[in-house]
Amino acid sequence: MSALFSPLQLRAVTLPNRIGIPPMCQYSARDGGLATDWHLQHYGSRAVGGAGLVIVEATAVLPEGRISRGDLGLWDDAQIEPLARVARLIASQGGVPAIQIGHAGRKASVGLGWEAQQTLTAEEGGWTTVAPSAVAFEGYAEPRALDREGISRVVQAFVAAVRRARQAGFQAVEIHAAHGYLLHQFLSPLSNRRDDDYGGSFTNRIRLTRKVVAAVRAEWPDTLPLLIRLSATDWVDGGWDAEQTVELCRLLKTDGVDLVDVSTGGLVASAKIPAGPGFQMPFATRIRAEAGLLTAAVGLITEPAQAEAILTEGHADLVLVGREILRNPFWPLQAAPALGVEVAWPKQYLRARPSGR
C-alpha cells in the first residue's frame, strides 16, 4: 500500500490521498475579487487529475489586503457564488475543496504576477498599504502602521471571510501567515517594530496570528479542518526562525489548528534561500516531531518516489505538489502506477489509461 495514496483524516473530512495542490495565485480575478472561468478550469482540471486536496489561492479578506488587482476576494457576498462553482467542481471529482484566506499587508498593491513587482501608484490603480510598522518591504512603498482599530478590523475580516468560505462550500480553510504577508509581518522582528502588546516579545508578536486563529476556529464548524501556512524561517539572522515556529505551533495546536503547511521565506527580498528538491521538508519534519501537529511538505517536490519517501520516512503527513502540477495537472494519476498503485480514472479518460483498460 502506497503512503501517498492512503487516506488522511482531518476531523470529519477524509482526503482520498495525500497529494495536495498548494495555493498558487493566478492573478485572474475580475471586477474586484470575483473568480472567473479561468479559476474554474484551473482548479477543476487538477481535481480531475486526482489530487486529494485542492487549496484555492490566496484570497483577500479586505480589498486593501489583495496582493494585486487580480486577486480573489471574500470580503463581499457577491464573491461567494463564483467561488462556490469552483468548490462544487472540485468536490464532484472526489477532491476536498479548500481555500486560503489572507491579507498581504505591506506587500499589497503590486502588479500582477507576470508584471513588475513594485508598489502601484494611485494612477495605476494602487492603494495605501498597511503593516505592523511603517517599515517598507525592499523596493516597495512605506506602509501605514495599523492602529488597534485597524487590527480589530483585520480580525473581523478573517471571520467574515471564513463564514463566506463555508457558504461557498469549502471543506477546509487555510490561514495565510507566511511569505512576508501581514500575519508573518507581525511575527517577524524584522518587520514588526511595535512597542505595544502586538510587538517586541515573542508572545506579543504572535498575538495577532493567535487571535485570528481563535476567531476563525470559533466561526468555522468543529467538524471541518483548519490549516495554517507558516514560513518557518526568514533565512536571515535576527528574523523569524525555526525555534519560534515550533513554539508557535505548539500553541496553535491548542488553538484548534489541525495541520501546518510549512513553507519558508518571503519577508526579506534579499534573503539567500538554498532552494533545491525538498529544501523545506526538514522544517515540516521538526514541527511534526516537536509540536505534535500534522504537517504538509512543499517545495520542489516533483517525483512520485520523492513524495512517497517524505511520507514513509515520517517527515510529513501530506505532500503539496505545486509547480510540477502546473506543468502536469494529471500528476497524481500518473504517480499511481509509478508506485504500483491502481486508482480510479475519470470514465471520460479511461481510453488514455496506461493499462488500456
Checking if the pLDDT of 190 tops 90, the result is yes
Q: Domain 8-332 class?
A: alpha beta
Q: Which of 44-53, 111-120, 326-335 has the lowest mean pLDDT?
A: 111-120
pLDDT at 355: 66
Compute the chain's Rg from CA coordinates: 19
Q: How confident is the model at residue 69 (pLDDT cuts 50, 70, 90)?
A: very high
The label of the residue with cell 482520498 reads 16
43 catalytically annotated: no
Q: Is the per-residue pLDDT at 357 higher than 80?
A: no
Split at pLDDT 50, 70, 90, the class of 32 is confident
Instruction: Report d(CA 196, CA 214) in Å as an integer.
Output: 21
* Higher-scoring residue by pLDDT: 355, 204: 204
Confidence of residue 159 (pLDDT cuts 50, 70, 90): very high
* Rounded Cα gap, residues 104 and 63, in angstroms: 10
> CA–CA separation, 332 vs 330, rounded Å?
6
Q: Residue 342: pLDDT above 60?
A: yes
Place of cell 464532484: 92
Q: Is the pLDDT of residue 214 over 80?
A: yes
* Domain layout of the chain by residue ranges: 8-332
Residue-wise pLDDT tens digits, 253-275: 999 999 999 999 999 999 999 99
Q: Could you tell me which of 268, 248, 269 has the C-alpha nearest to residue 257? A: 248
How many Å apart are CA 74 and CA 59, to the nearest integer? 7
Query: Among residues 27, 43, 181, 349, which one is catalytic?
Result: 181
Show Cβ contacts of residue 351 under 8 Å, excluding neighbours closer than 6 positions.
none
In this structure, what C-alpha cell is assigned to residue 267?
519577508
User: End-to-end alpha-carbon separation of the chain, Å?
Assistant: 21
3-state class percentages of the chain: helix first, strand second, coil last, to nearest 5: 35, 15, 45
**Residue 160 host element (H or E):** helix 148-167
Q: How does pLDDT run across 79-112, given as a tens digit for each residue? A: 999 999 999 999 999 999 999 999 999 999 999 9
What is the pLDDT of the chain when averaged over all its residues? Answer: 96
Please check whether residue 62 is in contact with residue 157, taking contact to mean a CB–CB distance below 8 angstroms.
Answer: yes
